[in-house]
Amino acid sequence: MRSSVYVFGTDLLHEGYDAVLDNLQQRGGVDGVALSATYHDARDVFAHNPKFHVYRNEGDVAWFAPEQHRYTSGLTPRMAAAAGGVDVLSELCARTRRRGLAVDAWTIFLHNSVLATQHPDCATRNVYGDPYLTDLCPANPRVRAYCRELAGDIARYPVRRLLAESLHYRPLEHGEHHERYLIDLPAEARTLLSQCFCQHCRAAGERAGVAVEALAAAARAALEPVWLGTLPPVQTAPLLSETGQAELAKYVATRTVVVTSLVAEVRAAMAPAGVALTFIDHAGAMSHVMHGTSADDEVTASSRKLGIDPVAVAAACDEFSVLGYVDTTTRLQALLADYRNLLGPDARISVALRPLLPDCRLEENFNAKVAAVRSAHATSVEFYHYAMMPLNRLDWIRCALADQTIGESS
C-alpha cells in the first residue's frame, strides 16, 4: 500500500525542502509526498511553520511553471507570488528523486474563484442565472479544454499520480469566504440552488430528454416560499412536485455523464506521459459542509449531488480516492465496505485520512483507521495535512503503517 502526505508549497519554502522531506521520510515513514500543484483560497492554522501560525493561502495559484502556450482555452493558471518565480514542483521532483520518494501532484481543477471571476461565462449558474464566481462549469467546452490543458501541463513533470480534486460539480456551500445564510434553507432548497443551469448544462439536459425549462420554472416556484419566509417550522412535504422531482433526477443524471466524460478526457490528456489519474470523490467531506448530509448516508447519495457516478468514474480513471473523513473506525469501515461493494473487488481505491480534528483525538483511533484501510485492500493511503498537523502525528503515521495487527478504538 503506497503512502503519501499532503503538503503546501509554503511548507517547502518556509521550512526548507530537506527538512520537510526528512520529516516525511524518516519520521513519517511514507514513500511519497503530495504537493498542492494548484490550490484555492484558505486561511489555515499551521502547527509548526517557522514563519506563520495563521496563514492566508494565496488563492487559485500554481506551484509549478505553467507553459502558457498550452492554454488555448484562454483560461490560464498563474504562478503563486509566494514562490518567487521558483518552479516548486520541479525542485521537489529533483530532490525526491535522489531520495527515492515519489511525488503526487494534488491538483484543484474547477474550484477557482480567480478564473470564474475573470471569465464569468465559464462559471456555474443557478436557476436564476446568478453566476457562482467560485466554480467553473464542467459542461462548458472552454472549461473542459482548460482541464485537459492543465492536466497535460502537469503530466510533463516526473510525478507518480495526479490527484484530481474538484473535477466535478460542487454544492451551494463551501464556495466563498463569509458565506451567510440568514433564512431557512432546507436541504432540498440547497440542492435546487446547487444545480447549474448555464447554457451548456441546459443543452446537456435537453439532449438527454429533460424538460429543462419546465424544470427551471418548477424549481423557481418551489423556492418562492423560501424567499417569502413562509416555510413551516418543520418542512415535511417536498418543495418540488413528484413530476418536478422526476425531471430533477433526470437532470442530475446528465451531470454524471458530463463529469464522467470529463474525467476520461483528463486521463487521456495525461496518457502519453504515463501519469496515473486518481479521482478524488469529495463526497467524503460533504457531511461537514452540505446541509442535510450525514456521515452515515448511503455512499452514492452525496456523490451524485456532485455529479459523480462512482462506478462510471472509477472506470474512467486509474484510481478512485475516498475521503475517509469520519470520526469512528466503525463509520470508516462501513464507508469503505460500501465503496468496495459498489466498485468491485478489483477497483483501485485510495483513502485519505486526517490524524487531526474533527476525525481523531487519540492515536489508537488513527491506528485502527489505517488498519481498516489496509483491510479494505486500498492501493494507496494519503494523510491530510502536513502544515496543519503537530509533528508528532508523523510518529502516528509511521507506527500505523508499520503495525499490521492494530485493533479498533474510537
Q: What is the DSSP string of 189-200?
A: HHHHHHS--SHH
Predicted local distance difference test score (pLDDT) of residue 93? 98
Percent of the chain with pLDDT over 70: 97
Confidence band of 409 (pLDDT split at 50, 70, 90): very low
pLDDT digit string (tens) for 75-85? Answer: 999 999 999 99
In sequence order, which residues have a C-beta less than 8 Å from that of residue 336 and are 6 or more positions away?
A: 322, 324, 349, 351, 372, 373, 376, 378
Predicted local distance difference test score (pLDDT) of residue 302? 85
pLDDT digit string (tens) for 358-397? Answer: 999 999 999 999 999 999 999 999 999 999 999 999 999 9
Predicted local distance difference test score (pLDDT) of residue 404? 58
Strand residues in 137-177 grouped as ranges (E): 161-165
Higher pLDDT pick, 259 / 297 = 259
pLDDT digit string (tens) for 118-173? Answer: 999 999 999 999 999 999 999 999 999 999 999 999 999 999 999 999 999 999 98
Q: Name the grid cell of 293.
A: 448530509
Rounded-to-integer distance, Cα 23 and Cα 45, Å: 19
Overall average pLDDT of the 80-106 stretch: 97
* Range picked from 152-161, 182-191, 297-306 for highest mean pLDDT: 152-161
Predicted local distance difference test score (pLDDT) of residue 330? 96
Q: Residue 205 pLDDT > 50, yes or no?
A: yes
Which residues sit opposite 132 in a β-bridge?
Answer: 124
Predicted local distance difference test score (pLDDT) of residue 405? 46
Predicted local distance difference test score (pLDDT) of residue 299? 77
Q: Residue 407 pLDDT > 70, yes or no?
A: no
Decide yes or no: CATH 3.30.70.100 for domain 2-176+256-402: no
Predicted local distance difference test score (pLDDT) of residue 408? 38
Confidence band of 410 (pLDDT split at 50, 70, 90): very low
Checking DSSP bridges between strand 161-165 and strand 276-281, what pairing results, if any? parallel
- Please state the φ and ψ torsions of residue 153, each to the nearest 5 degrees: -65, -45
Q: Residue 334 pLDDT > 90, yes or no?
A: yes
Per-chain mean pLDDT for the chain = 94
pTM, rounded to two decimals: 0.95
